Structure 1
Amino acid sequence: LDNTVYINTGGTEGSMGKRNYHSYVTDQQLAWLRDDLAALRDKSQPVVVGMHCPAMNNYNAAFENRESFNPAGKTQELFDCFEGFSYVHFLTGHTHYNANMERGAIFEHNVAAVCETWWWAGKLSGVGVCKDGAPAGYAVYEADGRKLNWYYKGVGQDRDKQFRTYDMNKVREFYTPAVIEILSQWPRRADDGAGDDYFDVADNTVFINVWNWDSQWTLRVTENGRELPVERVWHRDPLHTICLDYARILNGLDPVNDWESLRHSHMFRVVASSPRTSLHVEATDRFGRRYEETMRRPKEFTADMN
Structure 2
Amino acid sequence: MTLQSMTGFARSDGFHGRYRWAWELRSVNGKGLDLRLRLPAGMEAIEPELRDIASKSLSRGNIQAGLSLSTSETKLEAVVNREALDAVLALKRDLAGAVSEAPLNFDSLLSVRGLVEFREPEESPDVQEARNRSIVEGFGVAISALKAMRQREGASLFEILSGQIDRIEALTSVIEADPSRQPEQIRARLAAQIALIADGCTALDRDRLHTEAVLLATKADLREEVDRLTGHVAAARELLGSGQPVGRKLDFLAQEFNRESNTICSKSNASAVTAAGIELKVVIDQFREQVQNLE
Range class of TM-score, shorter chain: under 0.3
TM norm structure 1: 0.18
- The structure with the greater share of residues assigned to helix is 2
TM superposition score normalised by structure 2: 0.18
- Which structure has the highest strand share of the two? 1
Structure of higher CA gyration radius: 2
